[in-house]
A and B are shown apart, each in its own frame.
Chain A
Amino acid sequence: MTSLRRTATVAWAIARKDAIAELRGKQAAVSTLTFAAVVLLLFGFALGPDPRRLADAAPGLLWLGLVFAGLLAVGRFHELETEDGALEQLTLYPVDRRSIYAGKAAIGVIAMLALGVLLVPLVAILYAVDVVRALPVLALTVVLGSIGFAAVGTFYAGVTVRLRAREVMLPLLVLPIVAPLLLAAVKATTAALAGDPLRELPAWLELLAGFDVVMLVAGAGTYGFLLEE
């Protein structure tokens, strides 16, 4: 088996295992969806009925919901490994540690995309924005943003997985690092929903793609050291 194929096989096995465990346990799914829905609903009430105001706030609130719910998801996928010595066992398999990172990041991206599929229509309904016209660009923005967030979130979930206060530490470590990603994602979403009048969309998407590449390479290169005890 070639090295690349083996990496992909191991990454897929880890992502699949986490997905099965989460779909059965539903611990992260319930909390993340409830949290994101409540955030969107409360801000919708707080901003009032002005359609312009709601539409202006929609991109920021979409990403607020995605990021905080995503934090719960990536944390949960590492928490699964704290069951009965599973993390140690995972590190003892004869696999490249980068494939473990790839698997954990992949399930993080899948979770974020699933959240995106649910939250984008919710935003469209609650904030009266036309997402259908901008759907392809909006989808690309969510995909790029999810990859970057999962790349960073997975790395820091690895940093905090052995800590007792991991639920507190994870947002504190992740949020400052993903600030450029959030800025670019919100700007790209705003431009996409407005029809990109200033032709700024490509630049924001390039920034997102660049962030993704840098964080994926850095995460894959260093994640293995986090698993050392």
Chain B
Amino acid sequence: MPQTTIYASPRSVGAPEQLPPGVATQELARLFGGNPALAGVTLTIPAGRCVQLTGPNGAGKTTLLRILATAIRPSFGSAAVDGLDVAAQPELVRSRVAYLSHATGLYDDLTARENLGFAATMLGLERTTSTEAVQEVLEEVGLADVASLRVSGFSAGMRRRLALGRVLLARPSLVLLDEPFAALDGSGIQLMERLLDRWHRSGVTALVASHASEHIAAHADATVQLDGGIVTRVTGEGVTARPQQRERAAPPAIEVTT
């Protein structure tokens, strides 16, 4: 089986303009204990684009990704993936989205192959195809040699690769990656860049929260900067943020005198 089978997107690359946006949010807000992590983000990302999300810690990047992944619900506003509302049609959205978060979501007492086998079943792959797909993914992420070992003995980088393998199994139309280069070594970073390139070429929308601009720059069509739960800057083409907030002024320096 050619490798492209796994990564093939359900989307056609030819005519992205006719499709609903890969991601569309309207005044999206999320409060945690009364504190806004997102404070009204209106953002449209055309299907098939790779977008880097930047911003300081607490800017709202992870919250935005988690809402789009349906891990949490918006407090206000709306968000849609491929035209499907994340709050009203979460199951349909889940079948199109793959999310790589800070946590790997792996089971320590299962082997690498068992972890991916479980994911394949949960993702709805038929048993006849899932064994082959799991093996292919294990080879792609460089873990085929340790596939029969329990994950409890894996390093952080190996766990990250395995979690990435789960993303590959999902065949998503939107990938949400939260600091995907964290814990990866040189070959892991190359793997991640290769996958970003493959997703880009096959029309998969990618939203990547990362500070590692040197690794993403070659793949990202646009950069969205968040700060304090709002969009402060958009660079690149295709992505729109409305209304785009002005960049906040830096807090005044405090002069300390003795």
Task: Please give the residue numbers on chain A whose beta carbons come within 8 Å of chain B beta carbons, in ascending order.
Answer: 1, 6, 9-10, 13, 17, 20-22, 24-25, 80, 83-86, 88-96, 228-229
Contacts and interface: CB of A to CB of B under 8 A. Distances in A.
B238 to A, nearest CB: 27
A9 B71 CA distance: 23
B61 interface: no
B91 interface: yes
B161 interface: no
Interface of B: 69-73, 91-92, 94-95, 97, 99, 101-110, 114, 118-119, 121-124, 126, 150, 159, 166
B121 A89 contact: no
A192 to B, nearest CB: 38
A17 B118 CA distance: 7
At the interface, is chain A mostly helix, strand, loop or mixed? helix
A88 B110 contact: no
A35 to B, nearest CB: 21
B124 to A, nearest CB: 7
Contacts of A21: 107-110
B123 A94 contact: yes
A86 B105 contact: yes
28 contacts: A1-B126, A9-B121, A13-B121, A13-B122, A17-B114, A17-B118, A20-B114, A21-B107, A22-B109, A24-B109, A24-B150, A80-B109, A84-B105, A85-B101, A85-B103, A85-B105, A86-B103, A88-B101, A88-B105, A89-B103, A89-B166, A92-B94, A92-B99, A93-B122, A94-B92, A94-B94, A96-B91, A229-B72
Nearest to B126: A1
B179 to A, nearest CB: 14
A95 B124 CA distance: 8
Contacts of B73: 228
A80 B92 CA distance: 27
Nearest to A96: B91
A21 B71 CA distance: 25
Contacts of A91: 71
Q: Which of B97, B114, B118 has the most CB of A within 10 A?
A: B118
Contacts of A80: 107, 109
Contacts of A92: 69-71, 94, 97, 99
